[in-house]
A and B are shown apart, each in its own frame.
Chain A
């Protein structure tokens, strides 16, 4: 088991439990009662820790090395799934994966960023940072879905679009912008879920949807707390403050009306019970799809554009105030 910094009290308890179990295995003393007590203590401690997570702690959880990634969810949710590769222009991006699958009989196109499960795979998946080909592959699959009337599911988990030299040459910005433009008018339902990290343009590039959800311990922001710290505080040391200031948690995002719902994670995070997590995710996605299928194409597109048109907080001043301002200048 991997324990995060803020889980240290749990680690201590687990160590005690292990020792106790050893004593029990040696068979000289009956420790059943004590084990039960300790397990209870662990359960309570976990609850205590997890009911008061800070923004930064959620960021850490979203990056937990044991956290399930896109392929895990696809395989758990879809009895049948065929992966489809390539953008048909340049290459097959390994950081965005996708294909056709079946959600209890409903054919869907499902895609998302994929992080690697070990050191070698992390490199192979470019840490979930897509190049333009990834966004273009995603768009190709979405257009395929549109042609055949399949709903689209996108799973977001990225520290950002890849900031590389070739990515710029091949139009990283254009690829993301194009996806936003096309997704706004896509004729089929789009359900997006942030399952880990939702960093900026790299996330939104597959994240414009009729329904956008976040798993409980994920984050969504215009910039990672680390980069925000380095730019605004001019030092890498303020990531905790930046995480708080950015208000990037699922609760914040829901309160701002920038996402449509939060999907609860099992106690201890998605990785503590991935199967249960996948079941919950599937339930939410299926429900959203069936709601969206009740709308007509036009209704859905209008509602989608209307939803995004409302996103923003600004004030409106009076003509008098404008005149006053101009006089001052």
Chain B
């Protein structure tokens, strides 16, 4: 007899698949191992109330934190295909099915249009729970569509990166999402629409090597892992231990690749300030 009763039927998540930002009543911090109530954690912008660890959270959590209440989800009709008929230990289609069942999102990125202190913003937020936040064709296409939408509606764009990199099961298709998203971002720049890139834990591989690093403003949450190659690969290559704090947000700020680091509790107000500066409808900004 367990202490906690499952409220929903049909949940059969293996322990290793448990979500990192849990739903239940209690939250156990991945870093400090302290336990808080879920309510305390939610009131603390889904950070650990004890050590301020920024837990990995989902696309919809970011929408809730940033948008003024309601928002409209866009391009949710796009779904991943299996163009290569890819099978490793499992068929890719099976991995996809499992990911759909396990998650509230329909791929590793979700796009929504809403308001931030009454100023319009399109957010494309990645979700690590969906196949490691990996970038396949759908991620690339949703970003491409979001960019077109931002150009049409003259709305600023925020992309929240949280990804292990490219989606291997889509091989070269996933690789081509790097040039695709980068090329599309040049159109946004040509139309003088601001693009803010928020990097969160983790942002690595092909995502970092394309849109994540290309913001007009590049920002990150504290202590996120951000890099091109993963730490394990680097360690194996150079055969040395990596210094403390290597590839963290703070490391990137120090080396000149970030504009600033923002605590999740200040995220909304910070974005709101940025949107104010860039707001082209303000008379003072009229050229």
A→B interface (CB under 8 Å)? 161-165, 167-174, 176-178, 180-181, 183-185, 200-201, 204-205, 207-208, 220-223, 227-228, 231-234, 238, 241-242, 245-248, 252-253, 256, 258, 304-305, 308-309, 311-319, 322, 325, 329
Contacts and interface: CB of A to CB of B under 8 A. Distances in A.
Contact of B84 (A200, A223, A246): A246
B184 A305 contact: yes
Interface string B248-278: 0001000111000000000000000000000
B206 A185 contact: no
Contacts of A258: 172-173, 176
A311 B137 CA distance: 8
B233 to A, nearest CB: 5
Contacts of A317: 77, 79
Contact of A314 (B78, B100, B238): B78
Interface in B8-66: none
B110 interface: no
A170 B175 CA distance: 23
B173 A311 contact: yes
Given A177-B213, A222-B166, 17 more contacts: A168-B227, A168-B234, A168-B247, A173-B227, A181-B185, A204-B176, A220-B172, A228-B168, A253-B172, A258-B173, A309-B144, A312-B140, A312-B180, A313-B81, A314-B78, A315-B80, A316-B78
B85 to A, nearest CB: 9
Contact of B183 (A231, A308, A319): A308
16 contacts: A164-B234, A165-B242, A165-B246, A171-B256, A176-B209, A177-B208, A177-B212, A181-B186, A184-B182, A200-B166, A208-B179, A222-B166, A223-B168, A309-B180, A312-B137, A314-B78
B70 interface: no
Contacts of A222: 166-168, 170-172, 174-175, 206
B179 A204 contact: yes
Nearest to A302: B187
Residue of B171, B179, B205, B234 contacting most chain A CB atoms (<10 Å):
B179
A231 B169 CA distance: 11
A304 B233 CA distance: 33
